[in-house]
Amino acid sequence: MHAQRAVLKPPQSPALRDGREYWTLSNRAKRLDCGAFTAALSPAQQQRDETKMRFENPNLLWLLLVLPPALLAFFWWAMRSRQKLLVQFIEARLLSQLTVGISPARQKIRFGCLVFAVALLVITLARPQHGFDLQEVEQRGLDIVVAVDTSKSMLATDIAPNRLARAKLAALELMQKAGTDRMGLVAFAGDAFLECPLTIDNTAFQQCVQALDVNSIPQGGTAIAAAINTALTAFKEDSRHKVLVLLTDGEDNDTGALEAAQNAAKAGLKIFTIGIGTAAGDLLRVTEPNGNSDYVRDEQGNVVKSHLNEGLLQQIAGATGGFYLPLRGANAIDTLYERGLAPLPKSEGRERLVRRYHEQFHWPLAAAMLLLVAELFLPERKKSTVQSPQSKVEAMALATLIAILLLPIAANASPASALREYQSGNYTNALAEYERLAEVHTNDLRLAFNAGVAAYRATNYDRALKFFKAVTLAPDLKLQQQAYYNLGNTQYRAGITAEDLDGLQEAWEAATNSYSRAVKLDKNDLDATDNLGFVTKQIGLIAKLREAARRAKEAADDEVRRNEYHRALEIMAGLFQKNPTAKQFEEFTKKLKDIDAIVTPHQP
C-alpha cells in the first residue's frame, strides 16, 4: 500500500477555491484547479501490513544451531544402539516376528515431530513480534535532546573506531540509562535538523541514531548554534526541565555558539557537553564512491587535521549551568546521568504514541503443541485395517483439537468499502470507516493517513489534524513526509476558519513549520516548496490585510452614518470575497444584511 496525493494547478484567479477531485490507482498524481494551494487527495490503497518480524529475545535463536542438531544426533545414536541390542539379545529367527508391524518411516516421523517441536519452542521463548499499537502512556521523567555532530570532522579516528561511531554508541548508552525520560535527537553539521521528536519510544530513537552518518546533513561545517536553536524547538511544555546533551568535537565554524547557549539558558535549557576526540587530533580521511580513500583538504588543498576544542565546550556548558565531560573510558555516560541528569527534578508528562508490539509467540507454541500431540497419537506399529471404537474416538478428538487450535480469526471488513465511499464523494462515511479500521489496526499508520485525508475533504479539520500529527511519527520517511505536507495543508485551511487574526496567524505559522519539515524530508517536493513560499507570503500580508480590513470597515461605517446601508453591505461583501481576515466583521455584516433587507425596497 502506497500513499498517494494529488497536486493542484494554480488557476488564473488568485482566489483560493476547491476543485473537483479525481481518483487514480496509479502512482501518478492528477492536477486539480484549487487555487495557489496544493492539497493531498487520494487515500492509499489498503494491503496487508508488511511490518517486519522482530524478536524480543533474539539471542535465544542461537539455540536453534545447537538443540535440533543435538537431538537429531541423539535419536540417530539411540536407533543404532537399539538395533545393536536387539541383534545381540534376540535370536535372528525371532527378531522378524517381534518387530512385525514396526514402521521405520513412522519412527523417523515421530523423531522429526519432536525435533521441530523443540525448534518451535525455542522460537516461542525468543518472543516473535509483528506490528505494534500506538498507545498513550503516562510517565515521569526528564525531557532530553541529544545533539550529535555529523560533520566530516567526526570521521577522525583518534578514538576508535571513529568519533561519529563513538558518539552514536554514547547516545544509545544514554537511552538505556534514561528509563522513562523522553528522548529526542538532533543531527547537525553546517545546519541542524530534528531527526526524532521527544519520545519514550526507545525503538524509534534507536533507529534514528543508527541511521546517522556524515551525509545526514548535506551542508558541510559545524554549526553548534544551529544545533542549540533546533533543540529548543523540540521542547513544547514549559513546565518540564529542558536538557540538551551535545556530542561533538567542538570544532565550530560559526561564532554564535556561546551566544546561542546564553540565550538558551534564559529559555531554561541546561546543556551538558560531551567532547569526542583528543586534543592532539587526527587527519581526516573520506572514502569516495569508487572505494578509494583520500584526506579531506581545505580550499588551499592542505590536509585538514581535526582537534577537540574543549575550551568552547566548557564555556557552552558553563553558560547554561551544565558541565563538560570528555568521552574517555567506560563510565562517561554513567557519570553524566548520575551527576548531571538524575538529580534534576522529574515531572509528570504524557506520551501519546508509544509502540506496544504485538506478541506472536502463540503461533509457534500452538504449532509445537500440534507436533507433540501428533507424535503422541502416531504409533510405531502400523494399525490393523479394522479400527476399534476407541481408535475412532481418539481420531475424532485429535481432529477436534486441531480444528480448535487452527480456528481462523474472523477478518475485519476490507478497506475497499471505505475506498468506495471516498471515490463516491461520501467523505464523512469514508472517514468513519477509515477511523474504525485505524482503531483496529493501530500499527498501520497508512490507515490513519487515509482517515486524515477523508477528514480533510469533509472539512473536518480538527480530526484531520489529529490523524496527520499521528502519522508524522511513522517510521516510513516517505509516509512521514506526506503527513507533514498534508498537515501543513490542513493547518492552512483551519487557519482560515479561525475566529480572529491571532488564531489565523498562529495556524499559518504552524503550517509553514510543517511544510519546512516536508521539504527537509524530500527536497524534490516542489509542491511543498511552493506551498511553503505561498503561506509565508500570506503571513507577511496579514498586516496589510488587517489594514485593508480596517479601512473597509471605516468606509462601511461612513456609509452607515449616511444611511447608505446597501452600499455599506456591498463594501463588506467585497471584503469577504478578497480578504480572509474579514471574518472578524462577520457579525457586523450580518446586521447590515438585516438592516438592508428592511430599508431597501424589494425589486420585483
Render pLDDT for 297-311 as a digit per residue (tens, 0 to 9).
766 777 777 888 888
- Residue 135 confidence class, pLDDT cut points 50, 70, 90: low
% of the chain exceeding 90 in pLDDT: 17
Per-residue pLDDT at 37: 37
C-beta separation of 456 from 489 below 8 A: yes
Collapsed DSSP state (helix, strand, coil) of residue 20: coil
pLDDT digits (tens, 9 = 90+) for 216-269: 887 878 889 999 999 988 886 555 678 999 999 888 767 788 899 999 998 888
Average of per-residue pLDDT across 331-336:
88
- Residue 166 confidence class, pLDDT cut points 50, 70, 90: very high
pLDDT digits (tens, 9 = 90+) for 268-290: 889 999 999 888 878 777 666 66
Collapsed DSSP state (helix, strand, coil) of residue 274: strand
At residue 32, does pLDDT exceed 80?
no
Which run of H or E residues covers position 558?
A: helix 526-561
Torsional sign, CA 225, 228, 234, 235: negative
- Residue 181 confidence class, pLDDT cut points 50, 70, 90: confident
- Top CATH class, 134-353: alpha beta
**394 phi and psi angles, rounded to 5 deg:** -65, -40
Average of per-residue pLDDT across 474-488:
88
At residue 489, does pLDDT exceed 50?
yes
Which stretch of 182-196, 522-536, 540-554 has the lowest confidence by average pLDDT?
A: 540-554
Pairing label, strands 305-306, 282-283: antiparallel
Q: How far is CA 296 from CA 163, 300, 525, in A?
A: 15, 11, 32
Residue-level length of the chain: 604
Average of per-residue pLDDT across 322-345:
88
Q: CATH topology of 134-353 equal to that of 414-537?
A: no
Average of per-residue pLDDT across 470-493:
88
Which stretch of 15-24, 113-122, 557-566 has the lowest confidence by average pLDDT?
A: 15-24
Q: Identify which of 324, 337, 209 has the alpha carbon closest to the alpha carbon of residue 275.
A: 324
- Residue 14 confidence class, pLDDT cut points 50, 70, 90: very low
Query: What is the Cα–Cα distance from 418 to 434, expressed in whole angstroms?
Result: 6
At residue 169, does pLDDT exceed 90?
yes
Which stretch of 73-82, 448-457, 507-516 has the lowest confidence by average pLDDT?
A: 73-82
Query: What is the Cα–Cα distance from 490 to 472, expressed in whole angstroms?
Result: 14
Query: What is the Cα–Cα distance from 117 to 521, expressed in whole angstroms?
Result: 47
Q: Identify which of 177, 175, 169 has the alpha carbon closest to the alpha carbon of residue 327.
A: 169
- The gap from C-alpha 229 to its chain's centroid, in whole angstroms, comes to 23
Average of per-residue pLDDT across 531-554:
76
Average of per-residue pLDDT across 290-294:
67
Which run of H or E residues covers position 350?
A: strand 347-359
Amino acid at 327: L
At residue 602, does pLDDT exceed 80?
no
Mean pLDDT, all residues of the chain: 76
Query: ∠ CA 284-285-286 to the nearest 5 degrees?
Result: 130
Domain boundaries, the chain: 54-126+363-381+389-405, 134-353, 414-537, 543-599
Pairing label, strands 192-199, 182-188: antiparallel
More confident residue, 367 or 393: 367
pLDDT digits (tens, 9 = 90+) for 352-392: 556 677 888 889 999 999 998 888 887 766 655 444 555 55
At residue 545, does pLDDT exceed 70?
no
- Which three cell numbers, joined as nine digits, stand for 230? 533546533
Query: What is the Cα–Cα distance from 206 to 183, expressed in whole angstroms?
Result: 10
pLDDT digits (tens, 9 = 90+) for 201-214: 788 888 889 989 88
- Which three cell numbers, joined as nine digits, stand for 303? 590536509
462: number of Cβ within 10 Å:
9
Collapsed DSSP state (helix, strand, coil) of residue 408: coil
Amino acid at 189: A
C-beta separation of 101 from 382 below 8 A: yes
**269 phi and psi angles, rounded to 5 deg:** -90, 130
Query: Helix %, strand %, coil % for the chain, to 5?
Result: 55, 15, 30
C-beta separation of 543 from 513 below 8 A: no
- Which three cell numbers, joined as nine digits, stand for 186? 538532533
pLDDT digits (tens, 9 = 90+) for 60-109: 999 999 999 998 898 888 878 877 776 666 665 555 555 555 667 777 88
Which stretch of 77-86, 316-325, 389-398, 553-562 has the lowest confidence by average pLDDT?
A: 389-398
- Top CATH class, 414-537: mainly alpha
C-beta separation of 156 from 284 below 8 A: yes
314: number of Cβ within 10 Å:
16
Per-residue pLDDT at 476: 82
